[in-house]
A and B are shown apart, each in its own frame.
Chain A
Amino acid sequence: MTPVSDIYWHISGYAIFWILFAIAFGLFAQRVYFLFRLLRLGRREERFQSLGRRIKTMLVEVFPQWCNLKTVTRQDLAGIGHSLLFWGFGLFLIGYIIFIGLGGGFGLSSVLAGSTFETVYFSILDIAGLFVSAAIVWAAIRRYIIRPERLEASFEAGIILLLVITLMVLHFCIEGFGYAAYHISAPWPPIGAAFANFLISTDVSESTLVAVYKGVWWLHYAIILGFLVYIPRSKHLHILASPFNVLFKSLAPKEALKLIDPEKAETIGAAKIQDFTWKQLLDLYACAVCGRCHTNCPATLSGKPLSPREVILNLKDHLLEVGPQLLSAETPSANPGTAMIEDVITEEVIWDCTTCYACQEVCPVGIEHTVKLIDMRRNLVEHGRVSPSVAKALESVRLLGNPWEQPQSARLDWAEGRKVNLIQDREEVDVLYWVGCAGAYDPRSRDISLAVVSLLERAGVNYALLGTEERCCGDPARRMGEEGLFQMLARSNIDVLKKYRFNRILTHCPHCYNMLKNEYPQLGAQFEVVHHSQFLLELIHSGKIKLQEGQELRLTFHDPCYLGRYNGIYDPPRQVLQAISKATLIEMRLNKTKAMCCGAGGGQIWIQSEKGRRIEDMRFEQVQEVDAQIVATACPYCTIMLDAVAQIKEPTGKIKVMDIAELVVRALAQ
């Protein structure tokens, strides 16, 4: 028997129940529908393929809360707290549906009241309620007293915490007053029963108990309905949006940008909020303002204006602000008053990104931050709104086939004086060694290419180079937003590669690796590509390269973003280093998935943001912290950046920066 079956001032409790429900649900649905319509302003995108696999991912991420548990570190245990909240509140939600909805609104309380099911379920809820309350209290202490960097002590967050703990307290009150008022005595549910016993021991009259019970019951109901109305109007929207955001996560290799067909695209890249796809807009709803992207972004950490969290929240605010006017506009491409680029997101912020993927790696709800920034870059490039250093690098790639302003004919100069195999002279080879632009033109990186070639020869690998037919793989162009230039380069490279016969492409550059393997297929190529860390490991394991006993060496490894986070290759380079005897591998605190970028990727080495500290300086300081003699790298950009800092901070050579190939050469048996 619930208070719903009573009459209040001649009005049936059922009427009140259902009218309140209708109002709340109406407001909820109206808001959700509005948000849904805003999504439809966005461009189309295919995210429905492999539905079975998608559903499975969503179920695994959401219900066992893997989305949050994977973010748990020794320093940040919040993922556990959230999981407890999620499971606990999930049980309550089911309880509300059964006991308030069916029991109350549908009048089935007579079936449920006093049943074993009710006792058992309420006992479970009591325990859950304790966990939830503890989690809320802990959350409040963290957010408002401890104040970690990534959490904002906001008003909205406070309201949500307050609402949840109030619901917990009211649940116990309903139990306590209810059992006491109706003389229900039993040892279970434990807290409810204990509270009831306490109330009975006081001399409160039965009529008071009944009145309080009914009042608390309706208050509880009202707050639940209030919460329902509030969810889509606050950051708690993430409850509704994030499971779908995970469902529609990209199945493509990480960050493989969308191929633009200039004939079909109305706008190149994104200039207005409607230029984003519906999925990119859904990202904005899914954000729970956890701040993890903010505290893992190298640009933010080095004091630059870019913060991934701010990008997402500013875009969300912008969408909500201009959405109504866009919905009522005549054409879908109407220009909202505020300019997305420059008013909402400044050009400076757009160019600060190194595309290191740290934000996306750590985001529990699958938001794709960098893709939005690159889409905006695409639009800026189309309008010529790039800095002189970017223009120079892109023009160099277009005219000379590399960003280093060196002539194409000089692509083999690095091998001068050395005999190297050229594919033009061969029928067929096993391995085509793709040298890349840095490896061909940058003075420091040339040493890496020389090291790789000497290892290939030592191991008797049937390899060859493309020589002067090689052109930039297109990574800097694509990441800086010059999609047309990337397509031109990719097509040209694919045509050249198709002329020759080889089994695999070997490269020492993770950016070239990522391009050739994951993005060239968009233009019809299918090559088997191997990174030199994997290849060297093969050579070592098969005995084709023998290493000798070396001297004691303290090494650390700097994970390249495009090898690690983008392609999941963390172990092969470490195994190569461990094969160098007497080398002790020390891990930096920010390693593997948490490794900090060297600052060169995403075209940043040419964009050269002015503000804040230099990212490479910060990373090198992390190297100095672990007291290593050598920091091993597996990417020419990382080598260039860290070596440049080492020359300044460790001019005596106390810490050397060396590519794994160079280290293997050093450790070769005679």
Chain B
Amino acid sequence: MKIVVCVKQVLDTRVPLAVNGSVVQKEPSPVYIMNPADRIALDKALEMKASLVGEEITVITAGPARAEQVLRMALAAGADEVVHLEDEAFEVADAYTTALALSRVIKELDYTMILCGNRSLDIGAGQVPAFLAESLGIPQVTGVMELEIMSPGRVKLWRRLEKGRRQAIECPLPALYAVDSSAGQPRYVSEFSLRRAAKRRIRSLTLADIGLTQADVGPQASLIRVVSLSPPKPRPKKIYIPDGSLSASQRMSYLLSGGLAKGKESSLLEGTADYLAQQIIKYLIDEGILPK
């Protein structure tokens, strides 16, 4: 079974970042790491390789020249083959174009399973897994905490839900699983292994190799345009002041309920994924957010 792991090189957020307009200003010597969720995804792949015979792991990254670093880390950790889809345009490419490019590479590989991180440390949109799975026409499961191979072609996964709950899902292969960063602790890779990995071969691909140009992945092709970036500001929480004419117990219950502002209703929908998707689209159209 061949597992393809998609990884991304991101900035280490322990080093302070400044924001200038819509650009992140890096330190003179920025520190880069493999996206933590991708690291866990790779570890999951390596665990499967350790327990099953005949697993092969290919790690891919789409990034500028400096992204080679994460491929070296992948080799040191135990990947069999690494592929670098290299172009400066990937520094600013959005999730859609990145996924498009990756899918073109992966389509040519004889893969059984694709693993990647659920979201990246820098942008955190969490969209690449979905776009990628859709491009490849395979099912996807996001927020994966654990996975188990029941039998060839049958995989059981546990998804992370809110408040510590888990959802168990069975998903046949081939499929894409997006692993949550809290699904494990990254396994340590020694400096000596990194040194040995420095000598190994990396398969390098350009955009031309996969039939794309810079225009296809550049800002013009992005579905998302970054308008501005600003440092996080604390969100002031509105405190609900209860009506003084109410009794003490009524005032207490209003305070404890979190002070829902009057006049707003909320409704909770239940149903299949298709039904819910349709309802959300209808709501967005009704509210004038999506065009009709």
A-side interface residues toward B, CB under 8 Å? Answer: 260, 262, 268, 381-382, 384, 386, 388, 390-391, 394-396, 398-400, 405-409, 482-485, 487-488
Q: Is B235 an interface residue (CB 8 A)?
A: no
CA distance A260 to B193 in the complex (A): 13
**Size range of the chain B interface in the assembly:** 20 to 34
Assuming the contacts A390-B188, A400-B31, asked whether A382 and B193 have C-beta atoms less than 8 A apart, the reply is: yes
Of residues 174 through 229 on chain B, the ones whose CB sits less than 8 Å from some CB of chain A are 185-196
Smallest beta-carbon distance B11→chain A, Å? 11
CA distance A585 to B195 in the complex (A): 51
List 11 additional contacts besides A399-B12, A484-B195; criterion CB under 8 Å.
Answer: A262-B192, A262-B195, A381-B190, A384-B188, A386-B188, A395-B186, A399-B31, A400-B31, A484-B190, A484-B194, A488-B191
Instruction: Select one of A384, A406, A483 contacting B14, CB under 8 A.
Output: A406
Instruction: List, in ascending order, chain A residues with CB within 8 A of B12's CB.
Output: 399-400
Instruction: List, in ascending order, chain A residues with CB within 8 A of B195's CB.
Output: 262, 484
A262:B186 contact, CB within 8 angstroms: no
Instruction: List, in ascending order, chain B residues with CB within 8 A of A394's CB.
Output: 188
Return 21 A-B CB contacts under 8 Å, by A number: A260-B192, A262-B195, A268-B190, A268-B192, A382-B193, A384-B77, A384-B189, A391-B185, A391-B188, A394-B188, A395-B188, A400-B12, A405-B14, A406-B14, A407-B14, A407-B15, A407-B27, A409-B27, A409-B29, A483-B192, A485-B190
* Cβ-Cβ contact count across A and B, 8 Å cutoff: 64
Instruction: Select one of B16, B185, B189, B190 contacting A388, CB under 8 A.
Output: B185
Of residues 1 through 41 on chain B, the ones whose CB sits less than 8 Å from some CB of chain A are 12, 14-16, 27-29, 31, 33
CA distance A381 to B196 in the complex (A): 15
Instruction: List, in ascending order, chain A residues with CB within 8 A of B186's CB.
Output: 391, 395
Smallest beta-carbon distance B230→chain A, Å? 21
CA distance A488 to B195 in the complex (A): 10
Instruction: List, in ascending order, chain B residues with CB within 8 A of A395's CB.
Output: 186, 188
CA distance A484 to B190 in the complex (A): 7
Q: Which of B77, B185, B190 has the most CB of A within 10 A?
A: B190
User: Secondary structure at chain A's binding surface: helix, strand, loop or mixed?
Assistant: helix
B192:A484 contact, CB within 8 angstroms: yes
The chain A residue with its CB closest to the CB of B27 is A409
CA distance A390 to B192 in the complex (A): 17
A262:B14 contact, CB within 8 angstroms: no
CA distance A268 to B16 in the complex (A): 36
CA distance A360 to B190 in the complex (A): 29
CA distance A484 to B193 in the complex (A): 9
Q: In the A-B complex, list the 8 residue pairs whose CB atoms are closest, starting with the nearest.
A: A484-B191, A484-B192, A391-B188, A388-B185, A485-B191, A407-B15, A384-B187, A384-B188
B16:A382 contact, CB within 8 angstroms: no
Instruction: List, in ascending order, chain B residues with CB within 8 A of A386's CB.
Output: 188
Instruction: List, in ascending order, chain A residues with CB within 8 A of B190's CB.
Output: 268, 381-382, 384, 482, 484-485
Q: Which of A260, A407, A408, A482 has the most CB of B within 10 A?
A: A407
Smallest beta-carbon distance B74→chain A, Å? 14
A482:B185 contact, CB within 8 angstroms: no
Smallest beta-carbon distance B38→chain A, Å? 15
Smallest beta-carbon distance B91→chain A, Å? 20
Smallest beta-carbon distance A490→chain B, Å? 12
Instruction: List, in ascending order, chain A residues with CB within 8 A of B77's CB.
Output: 384
CA distance A394 to B188 in the complex (A): 8
The chain A residue with its CB closest to the CB of B191 is A484
Instruction: List, in ascending order, chain A residues with CB within 8 A of B196's CB.
Output: 262
B29:A408 contact, CB within 8 angstroms: yes
The chain A residue with its CB closest to the CB of B32 is A399
CA distance A406 to B14 in the complex (A): 7
Smallest beta-carbon distance A121→chain B, Å? 62
Smallest beta-carbon distance B125→chain A, Å? 25
Smallest beta-carbon distance B226→chain A, Å? 25
Smallest beta-carbon distance A266→chain B, Å? 13
CA distance A382 to B193 in the complex (A): 7
CA distance A488 to B33 in the complex (A): 18
Instruction: List, in ascending order, chain B residues with CB within 8 A of A406's CB.
Output: 14
Instruction: List, in ascending order, chain A residues with CB within 8 A of B14's CB.
Output: 396, 399-400, 405-407
